[in-house]
Amino acid sequence: MTLARAALLPVLWVAAFALFAWQDGWRLALTALFPNSRNPVFERATLLELVGQHLAIAGLASVLVLIVGLPLAVWATRPSGRPFLPLIANTVSIGQTFPPTAVLFLMLPILGFGAQAAVLALFLYGLLPTVSGALQGLETVPADALEAGIGSGMSERQRLLRLELPLALPSLLAGVRTTLILVMATTTIAPLVGTGGLGVPIIGGLGNDNLAQVLQGALPVAMLALLTDYSMRTLERRLTPWRS
Amino acid sequence: MIEFIGVSKSYNAGTVILNDISLTVERGELVILIGPSGCGKSTLLRLVNRMIAPSSGQILIGGKDSALLDPVELRRGIGYVIQSIGLFPHMTIFENVEVVPSILGTQKAERRSRAESLLHTVGLEPGVYGSRYPRALSGGQQQRVGIARALAADPDVMLMDEPFSAVDPITRGGLQDEFLRIKTEINKTIVFVTHDIDEAIKIGDRVCVLNAGAVQQFDTPEALLRAPANDFVASFLGEDRELKRLSLMPVTALMRIPPSNAGEARGQVLASSSARDALSQLMGASGRELNVMDVAGNVIGLIAMSDYGRNP
């Protein structure tokens, strides 16, 4: 069962990319679906190029979330950072209450047009699930296990690495998964500040009343989000065999 | 050897938990700390591995002042078993038992063979349980693992904080019997907290009765039951303390030796029984005499109700 799952995952990713690369297939399908459309397929870039741009922006924002968010959550649960715990929790919440579109335009005067503004907006938007998932995981480590760890002579560092982080993993990884999916979907607004990605045919299509192009952008985004979700769930199961 | 010298613990608000405690736990001895909730018994235990720091006084472990030792190093040399067990849920049983050796950098193969022999010692088949996760074990099995984990680095001292009180009475009895057997094998200095007086009498070499942060009496179970130092100790031991004392005494201590009329049909009791169990059988046999039998089936004495009157 788990072996089949693990083997299925790369197959699904390869199949998805093969589908993205099959430009003629999309043209055939979209022409058949929208016979009245003059330009059913976005032609200024191939779908594969759009997917590549999309993944680069979403990936960069997600990596930033991990680099900043996870150490932040760990620090906020250490004695030195604990006074800042409410501040951090509230600040990342505010980051998510701001609509990312608004953040994008607020960033424009500072960062100008381009990928930087998009990545920053997505980073702020995606920070909350990862930080709160990690915080929740670290805060709910069973007290008896911690007591036994201290009593066994584990140093603070050993407790963090051997007990707290592994035991926080279920919640932490669920938070990361939410972040990845959120960022993957929200990257579609990146073209508003002049970058690429799968949002290009969507936003362009909406402007020209071209539903075929909207679909051409939206379907791959949905596929990428689903695949990410499935991959993360597989990873979660792999890393926490003790839960089932 | 553990020495408490004038140890007190109080919190800021002025709440006194322990008041000027001095007592010595000899090497290889099992000392029970017992008393009602809030008497300070757990606090006293946790002072030893510096989970808590004393407000004043000294604790010497093997002659060294524990306040001068690094707490992390100190704890690695002290086995610690707690009521809530606290197995690490993400580690297998083997990994749980090997935690302290792995911190200390013991080689994997050596760790594993030590873990296997310890699991045998506590009555768990390593081949069956070693690779399981704690959640797949019952409470009693988990506490066996907890004891094996505490023994893994072969510490001189073991601290046990109500280790058997979270399991059902039948499992608890079994764990106590097994622990008594393990105790003679491992020869550790053990401080053991409980609120169960029967457990204290059953497994303690000496029992320290605490109340309101002060030692009420510190003596062997037998001496405690025979001569409680004050009303508190007497009431804590219970109205049936003479019966408890009989449970510490073998029936052979009370029986009459010359079996002049051996072989006559009467009830039997094994020589290994306690005087209390023999009394129970006598009551069931409506006061008749019982033959005391050795394991080979020979009659080695006689016991009757009247023998209990001249209780030594």
A163 vs A160: CA distance, rounded Å: 6
For chain B, the residues whose C-beta falls within 8 A of a C-beta of chain A are 49, 51, 72-78, 80, 82, 84-92, 99-100, 103, 133, 135, 146, 149, 159
Asked if the model's pLDDT at residue B70 lies above 90, the reply is: yes
Residue of A nearest to B48 (CA): A151
Please say whether the beta carbons of B34 and B200 come within 8 A: yes
Q: Are the beta carbons of A155 and B133 separated by less than 8 Å?
A: no
Q: What is the pLDDT of residue B243?
A: 86
Percent of chain B with pLDDT over 70: 96
| Lowest mean per-residue pLDDT among A176-185, B105-114, B124-133, B258-267 | B258-267
- Where in chain A are the domains? 2-34+44-243
Q: Which of A4-8, A192-196, B129-133 has the highest mean pLDDT?
A: B129-133
pLDDT over 80 (residue A233) = yes
Number of CB pairs, chain A paired with chain B, less than 8 A apart: 72
Stretch B155-171: mean pLDDT: 90
How many whole angstroms separate alpha carbon A134 and alpha carbon A166?
11
The model carries a pTM of: 0.85
Amino acid at B128: V
Provide the pairing of β-strand B56-61 with B64-65: antiparallel
Tokens for B66, please give them.
């524990």
Give the strand order in the sheet containing B206-211.
B78-82, B157-161, B189-194, B30-34, B206-211, B214-219
Q: Is A233 helix (H, G, I), strand (E, B) or coil?
A: helix
Q: How far apart are CA A73 and CA A88, in angstroms?
A: 8
**In sequence order, which residues have a C-beta less than 8 Å from that of residue A9 and are 6 or more positions away?**
A230, A231, A234
Across the interface, of A151, A155, A241, the residue whose CB is closest to B80 is A151
CB contact under 8 A, B87 and A149: no
Closest residue of B to A161, CA-based? B103
Question: Is the per-residue pLDDT at B258 higher than 70?
Answer: no
- pLDDT value, residue A194: 85
> Tens digits of per-residue pLDDT, A171-199?
999 999 999 999 999 999 999 888 899 99
User: pLDDT by residue (tens digit) across A204-224?
Assistant: 999 989 999 999 999 999 999
A17 strand-pairing partners: none
Cβ distance B75 to A150 less than 8 Å, yes or no, reads yes
Taking a C-beta distance cutoff of 8 angstroms, is the pair B153, B100 a contact? yes
A142 CB neighbours in chain B (<8 A) are 86, 89
B112-129 per-residue burial string, b: 16 or more CB within 10 A, e: under 16: bebbbebbebbbbebeeb
Is residue A151 predicted with pLDDT exceeding 90? yes
CATH 2.60.40.60 for the B249-308 domain, yes or no: no
Extents of the domains making up chain B: 2-246, 249-308
Pairing of strands B189-194, B157-161: parallel
DSSP secondary structure code for residue B227 in this structure: S
Instruction: Give mean pLDDT, residues B63-81.
Output: 93
Locate tokens 């016979």: which residue? A35
Residues pairing with B4 in the sheet: B23, B59
Contact B76 A153 (CB under 8 A): yes
Q: What is the residue whose two structure tokens read 């952008």?
A: A217
* Domain range A2-34+44-243, CATH class: mainly alpha
Q: Do residue A151 and residue B87 have CB atoms under 8 angstroms apart?
A: no
Number of Cβ atoms within 10 Å of the Cβ of B204: 21
Task: Give the CATH number of domain B2-246; options: 3.40.50.970, 3.40.50.300, 3.90.25.10, 3.40.50.150.
Answer: 3.40.50.300
pLDDT tens, position by position, B198-231: 999 999 999 999 999 999 999 999 999 989 999 9
Q: Which residues of A touch B136 (CB under 8 A)?
A: none
